[in-house]
Structures are given as C-alpha cells and as structure tokens.
Amino acid sequence: MSIALLIEQLLNGLQLGVMLFLMAAGLTLIFGVMGLINLAHGSLYMIGAFACAIVATATGSFWIGLAASLAAAAAAGAIMEITVIRRLYERDHLDQVLATFALILIFSEGTRWLFGSFPLYLDIPPALQGAVPLPGGGQYQLYRLAIIGVGVAVAVGLYLLIARTRLGMRIRAGESDREMIAALGVDISTLYTVVFALGAALAGLAGALVGALQSVQVGMGEPVLILAFVVIVIGGIGSIKGALFGAVLVGVVDTMGRFLLPQALTLMLAPSQAALVGGALASMLIYIVMALILAFRPSGLFSAQS
Amino acid sequence: MKNALATGLLGLSLMAAGPAAAEPVKIGVITTLSGGGAGLGIDMRDAFTLAIEQSGNKDIELVIEDDARKPELAVQIAQKMIQSDKVDLMTGIIWSNLAMAVVPNAVAQDVIYLSPNAGPSALAGPNCHPNYFNVAYQNDNFHEAMGQYANQDYKKTFILAPNYPAGKDSLTGFKRFYKGEIAGEVYTKVGQTDYAAEIAQIRASGADSVFFFLPGGMGIAFLKQYAQSGVDIPIMGPAFSFSQDILPAVGDAALGIRNSATWAKDLDNEANHKFVEAFQAKYGRLPSVYAAQSWDTANLILSALSKASVKDKEAFRAALKEADFESVRGKFSFNTNNHPIQDIYIREVVKEGDVLTNRIVAKAFTDHKDAYAQQCNM
Amino acid sequence: MRRAVTREAATNTTLALLLLAAPLAASAMGEPFYVTLATRIAVLALAAVGLNIALGLGGLVSFGHAAFFGLGGYAAGILATHAFNAEPLFLGIAGTTSMPAIWLVAMVVCGLVALPIGAVSLRTSGVYFIMITLAFAQMIYYFAISWPAYGGEDGLSIYLRNSFPWVNTAAPLPFFLVCYGLLLLGLLVFRALRDSRFGAALQAARQNEVRLAAVGIAPFDIRLTAFVISAMMTGVAGALFADLNHFVSPSMLSWHMSGELIVLIILGGKGRLFGPVAGAMLYVLLEHVLGGITERWQFFLGLILLGVVLFARGGLIGLVAGRQSHG
C-alpha cells in the first residue's frame, strides 16, 4: 500500500464526511432550536437532487441547477414547516417520528408521481472535471476537492452566522430559552420557519452536489439520513461543531474501514473469505463506533445541553 | 381446446359441469411498482400487458399488485392471489430475495410460477420444482458469459459486487469461466452509493480490467464516479447496469462499455422487431431487457394456453416445457430444471442520435445451460 | 373518569371479538385469505404489544425493535431448517419444528441480545436513545445481509410451517387461533405488568425519575427489565411472523420495520392496552385496501398517518374511548 493511496483514501473519507456534515448541520440546527426530530430530512436531500437534475438538464447548466436545488429545498422546507412541522413542536418525539415518517412516504411517492420511476441524469460541471496531482505521485478528483471546499465554506459560514449576526443571536437565544426569546418580542414562528428553510437548503445543496456523483432517484435520501443521524448523535445533538466533528469521523472511519479491514483480514483468511468478512464488518463499523462512543459519552462528544 | 378431448372422461365431466373454454385464465402479477426499484417493475408490467393485449386473447384476466420491493408484502399479496383471487398462474417478481420469499411457497400450493427476471441458484438446483419455470436466466449466467468473454482480452481482472447472495453468485459465476488472475476481489455494502475508496483500490491494483455487478442505483453511482475518476482500466459487467431504464441516468459514462445479456434491441429476428416496434409505439421509450423477458413470459403462457387448459396442470406444464413460442431472443428452450437454454451475447453501449442503447458485438455462449441443473431431481 | 375506563373496556372487548369473529366468518365462507390477513394483524399486534411495554409504559422509544422481531423470525427459520435437513445446530443440538420450543429459543435469544443493547442504550435518553437503538438494529441488519450461512439478503424459507401440539398449523384457521391465543396471552402479560408494582415503578420512572430514585428504586434496573421483557415478546411475534410467511429475511430487521411497529402503537393509542391491536387492524387493512386501489398507495398511507398524528391525538382508542384516564 502506497502513501499516495493512503492520502487519497483519507481525502475520500473527508469528502464523505463533508457531505454528511451538510445533511447533519441542518438536522442538528433544527433539533437544537426547535427540539424536533425530522426523519423527512432525507426527502429534502432528494428534492435538491431532483431539482438540480431537472433544471440542469433543461438549461444545460449545472450552476443554475445548483441554485434551483437550494431554492426548491428551502421552499419545500418552508412549506413543510408552515403546514405540518409547526404543529409538532409541542409534541413528544414519538409524534414527531411518526409524522415525519409519514412525510417520507408522501414525498417519495409524490416525487415518483411527478417525475416518473426512472433515475435521472446529472453530471459534474465541465469546469470541475479532471483531477489534481497529490504529493506522493497520486491524483485526486477536482470535483471531490470542490465538495470538501464547499463543506468547509458552509462550516465557516454557519459559524459566522451564529456567532456574529442578529439571526444567529436569536438562534442561540432560541436554543437556550424559548420563552425568553418570545418575551423579547422576536417573531418566533418566522424564526422557526427561517431556521427550518436554512436546514432544508443545506440538505438540498448536499443532494445536488452528491447527485452529480451518484444516481438521482426516489429513496436516495434514506441511507444518508441514517448516517446523518449517526453523525449528530456522535457529535452531540444541537451542536454544529459536534456535527462537523462527527461527520468527518464517520466519513473517515467508514472509508478506511472499507479499505483496510478486508486487507487486514487477508493475514488470517483466504482472499475471497477476507473480502466477504471484511466487507461485512466494514458495513457494521460505524454503528459499532457509535455504540462505543455513546456507551462512554451518553450525550455525544460535544453535547449542546451539558 | 382440442386437448380437452384428449383428457378423457375426467375432462368430459369437467366440461359438463361448465364450459371450460369460456372460463377466464387468471394470471397474478406481483411486481415492484413503487419506491426505488419501480422502473424495472413498470417495464415488466408494461411489456406483459402489451403482449396479452396484442394477442387478442379475451379470456385472460390479469391481477396486478405492487410489492414495493418488500418480501413480506410480496408474500402477503401472493397469499391473497392464491387464496382469494384463485389465480392459475403467477409471474412478475423482479428481485431474487422476493422470489425466494414467494416462489417455494406458491409452487407447493400447486400454482405455476413463471419468473420474468430473478433466477436464484437455490431454485435452479436442489429446490427446483415442476411448477417453477424460469423464462429469464439463472442468476449466474450473465456473469459466466462475461468471464468467458474476458478470457479473450484480459489477464488480470479486479472484481467487485455487493455483499449479498446475488453478489457472491455473480463473482462465483465470473470466476467459473474466467481463466486469468484476480487482481482484487471486493464486496461492497448493499445500497452503497460512494465508490471512491474502491476506485482508488482499483487504480492501485495494477489490474488490466474491471468486472463489476452493481444493480440499480449502485451501478449508476459506480459508473459515473469511475468515469469521473479518470481511471482508464476498461470495465465490463452484466447488462443490469446498462439496461435501457438506467442508461439515460448514467449518460456518456457508459459509452463503449461491454456487457453481457441474452437480448438486445438489435437482435435480428422477426419476433424482436415486432416487440421493439410495438413497445416503442405504445410507451414512447425503448424497452429494457426486463421488458424483453417479460414479453417472452407472456408469449410462452399464450403458447401453452393454445395447447392445453390451465386447469389441467399436468398437460399445461408439458405445454409450457415445450417452449413453443417466438422468443425475442431467437432460440429458447428449457433445460431439465425448467431453466433456459439460450445464447448469451456481449453488447456494447452506443449512441444512436441522442439516445444511448446497446448493440451486439459478440456471442459469448451458444445454447448455454446453468451449472445447477445436475443438482435438480425432478 | 370511571365512565372513560368502562368505555375503553367495551372498546377493547369489541376489538378482541371482531378480530376473532372476522376470520371465523371468512373461513366459513371459504375465504381463507382473510384468515391469513387476520393472522397478520394478530402477529403484528403481538409485536407491537411487546414494544408497547417499553414504549408505552416505560416511555422508552426504541427505534430498533425490528432487531428482536427479526431475531425471533430467524430463530424459527434456523431451527426449522436444521430440523428439515436433519443437521445438528452446534454441539450436537438438533433443530426443532415444535413451535413452543422455538418460542422459548426466540425469547431466550432476544432476552440475551436485549440485555447488553439495553444496558448500553439506557445510559442515554431522549433522542439519543431513539438513535442508539436504531444503530444496534442496523448492526444486526447488515450482519444478517452479509452473513451467508442462512441465506443473507435472500432470506430463509420455511418449507413446512412448524408444529403445535394437537393443532394442524398448516391450515389457516388453526394457525390463526394459535396466534390469536398468544396475542391474548401477550395482552394479559401487558395488563399484569401495567397493574403491578413493577409497572407502577416503570411508569413513575417515565414521569419523574428523581422522585423514584428518592424512594430507593433504581430507574435503570426497572427500565432494563422492561426493555428485556419487551424484546422477548416482540421476538415471539417474530417467530410467528416467519411461520405465517413461511419465510424470514433481513427486511424483518430493517429500520422500516422498526418504524412500522411504532406506527402501529401510535395509530392505536400509545400506552393503551389495545392500542397495538387497533393500530395493527387499521394499518394492515389500509395497506391491503389502498394497495388494491392504486399503486400510489404509499402516498395516501402517508397522508392518513399524518392526519392521525396531527388531528387524532391518543390514536384510534383515544378517539373512540376518550382520553386516557391515568398515566
């Protein structure tokens, strides 16, 4: 195994982590401010990917598609918040789980109804095709580097937004004391809608960026949703910093596990067996890591509450 | 209905109880019409209903239901079709795991099942059944063909499949005929959508070719990422990632890739010309390999119905086994385990105008049989 | 308040009789499929009654009970396969096709698995608990998919339904009666637990942990016990489900299944004795009726579920029998 390959795999893990961060940031923000578990977050990811694919195909420009994905996901998020989610803030987590589980069914079948059953086409923009050289003689795909860049930009942007702006101040106030913020005369329902739409837009952005790498199809949000939940639980629910850390941890552990476990097992087993067993272990690995972390830190690594 | 005469007294008494000829034939179609894999099921259903419609046979009643790709739901629907609708025949299932859930139980209740797609090895070997007919392929077949063909050009192949039974069957099938060296063998997570780590391994492996089996969205993701990565080792695989339902989503990344299948739309026979034309005229899109297999399934049923009554199971099974129909695949006959004996081709993805599709470039096997037939005692 | 209690009792009796009468009538009219459908309701209801011990009484929202449902199913599938092929399981222990033995194994296995899962998960609470139970279930799910010995994703067929003394389980009606009997037994266990001192402590732990600790009862032990009992009951239901379908596969372990079990409880009414029964009846009938009408059935199912959460708090039982009188 060469150093170049190792660096490439670390970057792959980082890129997967950054993508998960875009999903997890919205989830954790919504939970931190409104105390809501949103299982339908994966549907917003799907909406972003579909919007990008359709608009990019129609206009021939990935960038217009990307803008459309942000707009569509934010709009879908706002509508969802105003019509359904708003009624769930006072409910317990159980009702939230069921209501947003129902929303998944509605969004998935609704999308299929509107756009058909066949996967859609979306490719990376010409400007980002190609690869850049890595130290050690390897190379890395430009588009994936760009995703890492977007993730870092979003992380910095969110930090500035929350630490430096009025909206951020209200969000922080909303996290610590909900009655207080209403007493201060802030229009809490507008704030909630804005936060929800922001989280939705981030999910839509993730969907569009990833849609160019994967297949744009109904149900694409569900595997990512579960991973994003693993991320925010590891990081500590409500903590953006935790989400970033958790996302990179999950991304790197998952990628390196898939890469290294089967190789490590060849020391003990025949190659074919090692590939099988290693593959099986790798697919369970992040859940094992999560269980271990929660066993020792029951409210995640960077809990916002404590 | 002339065979009804040959069934003797029993047949006559049945005829006396009610005119058997007027009784409609009920066919239960369980397929995936909602959720992620719905495209395949819709192609299956569309081709099947079109074939029945074109036959002009008014005595056939179809009961079509959606399994949402859930095995438990498929089992429930199968029970309803058998117990409540009292169907004579069943067909439609796309996925191996759903077939394994439904088929053994259905055929044990004396319902004839015809598989338009999945062909798990268990049903071809020790658990074969006189009521089970596979009109598609045994799961290993496409992979075997690719392994056979790879011998021409390649010496060192990297192989890749999801970590589930069909994935293991796939790599086993490939290795059964491939004589070169295996540069690496990787089982990926089921439903995985990011293959950067695997592609990096492929690049580092020193392989001269890559064989992959990743059906559905997994294959779309892999092909796009592989093309984007700039790795130029040639890839090949079974037709599932290159069928007509998926090609538009893969885009130019698929161009030029060789893949194995029993059918392509340019296969030169009269039945196929008629099928492709009719399907395109009716639905405005090109048919996939699933549509082709489903069309054959319908025509096989129609051919058997013209020879025997479906109420006479023994005679009907014999009529099915003759496979006396015009297959869009050209030659088609059944082996001892009711699985196909057929030619398997190598296709190449090409562009016709703006449309990506496949054309046949070689024949990997002539009259190919599956490897499990000996284990079947029927 | 007393009136609310009697109204709930009347609703419960009606539901119990309805679930018994419908398949008897269907069987008499030669419609065995409706017996099968009723069996499915009874089995899913039993699984949800199990979950209801943790979720309804203990307030422990387990999003991973599919793990126990599936393990129970695999207990039935694996034992039956070994008996069918006459291969010993391990250490010379033979498989079996006797239902009571299978149920026992399912309970022991689920209890043994639930113990460590519960011990780790119960260190957390709230959303963390929901997610860590989900994570454990996912672990088992991926293990089942990739472990080749028992079919992996293709699952495992049970060629002949397992046997129960003096009952012809192959026929739909007798098998339904076995499942129905177990459901009633499960409901009795639930009621006995709810009304016991243990149940009182469990419900107190849900409402006020500090007060409970003050009287010298450790909430952790109470909850862990409830979680394990809950898992065992869901495991038995899983074994029945495998027998009903003649089949077990990893999809019984999937997070969709965990979600469906929660849906059944909320549809019917959380913490209510007959909530899971009412929920299972409604859910299975909806799935069956909508699925027959349109291939877009999941869309409408989603709308109906959403309507129930938003506008029918307390679920079906709550709607018919009024709000809960206590707890």
User: Average pLDDT by consecutive 10-residue portion of chain C (327 residues)?
Assistant: 71 91 90 90 96 92 95 94 81 82 95 94 87 91 85 84 86 93 96 92 82 78 94 97 92 92 89 91 90 83 89 80 59
Alpha helices, H only, B84-232: 96-108, 121-124, 141-153, 165-177, 196-205, 217-229
Q: Which domains does chain B have, with CATH numbers?
A: 2-139+267-342 (3.40.50.2300), 141-263+344-375 (3.40.50.2300)
Chain B nearest-CA distance from A256, in A, is 8
Q: Does B120 touch chain C (CB under 8 A)?
A: yes
Say whether residue B206 is in contact with chain A using an 8 A CB cutoff.
no
pLDDT tens for A15-47 read: 999 999 999 999 998 888 888 889 999 999 999
**Residue B35 to residue A2, Cβ atoms within 8 A:** no
CB–CB contact A279 B186 (8 Å): yes
- B186 touches A: beta carbon within 8 Å: yes
Q: How far is C126 from chain A (nearest CA, A)?
A: 8
Nearest CA in chain B to C36: B79
Question: A81 is written with which tokens?
Answer: 């918040």
pLDDT: is B232 or C210 the higher one?
B232
Alpha carbon of C155: minimum distance to chain B alpha carbons (Å): 7
**In 10 A of CB C92, how many CB atoms?**
6
Q: Find chain C residues with C-beta within 8 A of A91's C-beta.
A: 309
Cβ-based contacts of C295 with chain B (< 8 Å): 33-34, 66
Mean pLDDT is lowest, of B79-83, B190-194, C92-96, for: C92-96
Contacting residues for B330 by C-beta, under 8 A, at least 6 apart:
B267, B269, B272, B343
Rounded distance between C-alpha atoms, residue A30 and residue A27, angstroms: 5
CB A194 within 8 A of CB A167: yes
Chains that touch B (3 or more CB pairs under 8 A): A, C
**Phi (first) and psi of residue C156, to 5 degrees:** -135, 125
Q: A152: pLDDT confidence band, cut at 50, 70 and 90?
A: very high
Distance of CA C171 to the CA centre of its chain: 23
Q: What is the spatial distance between Cα B241 and Cα B261, in angstroms, rounded to a whole number?
A: 11
Residue B35 touches chain C, beta carbons under 8 Å: yes
Cβ–Cβ contact B130 with C under 8 A: no
Quote the tokens at residue A294.
């929660």
Instruction: Provide the shortest C-alpha distance from residue A281 to chain B (in Å).
Output: 10
The tokens for B305 are 């119905």
Total CB pairs under 8 A between chain A and C:
120
CA separation for the pair A105, C287 (Å, rounded): 13
CA angle (C62, C66, C68) in 5-degree steps? 90
Cβ-nearest to B190 among C145, C157, C287: C145
Asked if pLDDT for residue B27 goes beyond 70, the answer is: yes
* B96–C32 C-beta distance less than 8 A: no
* In the predicted structure, residue B21 carries a pLDDT above the cut 60: no
Q: What is the structure's pLDDT at C323?
A: 66
Q: Which residue, among C60, C113, C127, would best test binding to A if mutated, counting the most A CBs under 10 Å from its CB? A: C127
Contact check, Cβ <8 Å, C128/A237: yes
| Alpha-carbon span A69 to A56, nearest angstrom | 10
Exposure of B1 in the CB half-sphere (CA atoms within 13 A): 10
A223 token code pair:
């595997």
Here the ipTM equals 0.85
The domain ranges of chain A are 3-218
pLDDT score for B361: 94
Q: How many CA atoms lie within 13 A of B162 on its CB side?
A: 21
- Tell whether the model's pLDDT for residue B5 goes beyond 80: no
Q: Which residue of chain C has the CA closest to B63?
A: C292
**Residue B31 DSSP SS3:** strand
Task: Decide if C266 and A98 are in contact by the 8 Å CB cutoff.
Answer: yes
- A61 Cβ contact partners less than 8 Å away, ≥ 6 residues apart: A125
For residue C98, with 0-12 CB atoms within 10 Å meaning exposed, 13-18 middle and 19 or more buried, which class applies?
Answer: middle
Q: Confidence class of residue B16 from pLDDT cuts 50, 70 and 90?
A: very low
Predicted local distance difference test score (pLDDT) of residue A304: 54
Long-range contacts of A186-190 (CB under 8 A, 24+ apart): A189/A86
Which chain B residue is nearest to residue A137, measuring alpha carbons? B204
Record: contact C146-B190, CB cut-off 8 A: yes
Residues 308-327 of C with CB under 8 A from A: 309-310, 313
Q: Do B190 and C153 touch (CB under 8 A)?
A: yes
CA B236, CA B228: separation in Å to the nearest integer? Answer: 17
